Amino acid sequence: MRKPIYLDYNATTPVDPEVAKEMIPYIESLYGNPSSSYSIGRSNKEAVEKARAQVAKLINCLPEEIYFTSCATESNNLAVKGIAWANRNNGLHIITSKIEHPAVTEVCKYLGLQGFEITYLKVDQYGRVNPKAVENAIRKDTILITIMHANNEVGTIQPIHEIGAIARQNNIVFHTDASQSVGKIETDVDKLGVDLLTIAGHKLYAPKGIGALYIRKGTKIENLMHGAGQEKSIRPGTENVIHTVGLGKACEMALRDLKQNHQNMKVSRDRLLHGLISQLGNQVHVNGDLENCLPNTLSVAFENISAHALASFISNDVLISTGSACHSGETTISSVLQAMKLDFRTAAATVRISTGKKTTEEEIDFAIEVLVNAVKKLSI
């Protein structure tokens, strides 16, 4: 039996062999603590600093503006809580959107319980935040705007540059969760106009268990953890050298191969969509706006189909995810699709298919065949 074709790269990516190769010496023999002054410690410190520079280069910032964390969830927590706590004497108002990942939304909900006031901005039918709505939501006591760069479910890219300009004009700190965009599209912090940016290692071919947060020099932030002073005390704890080295290499490769990867992911995604439409016609409904979308992401509903039934029916052949959760026979629509005002039937019929940098034509053609057959079989 062949291995199922993996088309869920927004969930996670495999570790690239070049990344793994870079990590191996630190797994096998270079085990020193970066804080130790003897040579094996110093070489680990150098490895962490090399990785910091590699990450910084990808997003066009200074190495000292990069802080390593354990994952995107931690980076988002540090960004949102850290800015909130550091600025609570200036105001208690935070602006976010209704389509953020729980790693932002749940932090905002928590801060809401701590006395902060949160504005959750609506999005349009394509899942986009209107910069004018951000401007209108700003108050005298607004201390933070946090809007994701690209959405994990539908791939919609937000007008971050425009929102950044508004944040700057109003002197408000601006954070973006770029977990899904780093490595897929350009993520230059100056062009985007952001003060903080979240990176997730395992979404760009580094291992799970490593993330980073960009914090623009001069930004006032409070640390969530207290300890022995690593990462300038913003994120203390002995460095995860092995995974940090992996993230550094993954970022170096993402910069080197950005154009080619973008092209490959887009060609695969578009081939898939055209194949589906040519065989299933009007039964295919695309969510979001492909003009303003991550190159690899396709959120698509198949009329009269249960997305759960479809994903599970094809799971020996093709791996994809759904836009709804199913527990004890009850279907709950994702908050992103709800915010886009998708009707229940379309949302319950929605699957997310996301291609990778090495997805091949053969894989896509096989996936089209499997999906078309399954949709025809399951159509009710």
Residues that bind ligand PLP (CB under 6 A): 71-73, 101, 103, 148, 152, 177, 179-180, 200, 202
Buried residues in 228-267 as b, exposed as e (16+ CB within 10 A): eebbeebbbeebbbbbbbbbbbbbbbbbebbeebbebbbe
For residues 197 and 273, which CB has a smaller minimum distance to ligand PLP in the complex? Answer: 197
CB 345, min distance to ligand PLP, A: 25
Tokens encoding 251? 């970022």
What Rg value do the Cα atoms of the chain yield, rounded?
21
**Calpha distance 188→312 (Å, rounded):** 39
**Calpha distance 97→154 (Å, rounded):** 15
SS percent in the chain: helix, strand, coil, step 5:
45, 20, 35
Rounded to 10 deg, the angle between the 361-378 and 241-280 helix axes is 60
Enclosing H/E stretch for 313 = helix 307-313
CB 176, min distance to ligand PLP, A: 10
For residues 152 and 268, which CB has a smaller minimum distance to ligand PLP in the complex? Answer: 152
For residues 11 and 30, which CB has a smaller minimum distance to ligand PLP in the complex? Answer: 11
SS3 107: helix
For residues 180 and 268, which CB has a smaller minimum distance to ligand PLP in the complex? Answer: 180
326 is catalytic: yes
What are the residues facing 200 on neighbouring strands? 211
Q: What is the dihedral of CA 230, 231, 234, 240, to 10 degrees?
A: -80
CB 354, min distance to ligand PLP, A: 10
Tokens encoding 352? 């997310």
Question: In this structure, are strands 93-97 and 117-121 parallel, antiparallel, or unpaired?
Answer: parallel
CB 151, min distance to ligand PLP, A: 7
Enclosing H/E stretch for 351 = strand 350-354
For residues 103 and 143, which CB has a smaller minimum distance to ligand PLP in the complex? Answer: 103
Q: Which residues participate in catalysis according to the annotation? A: 326
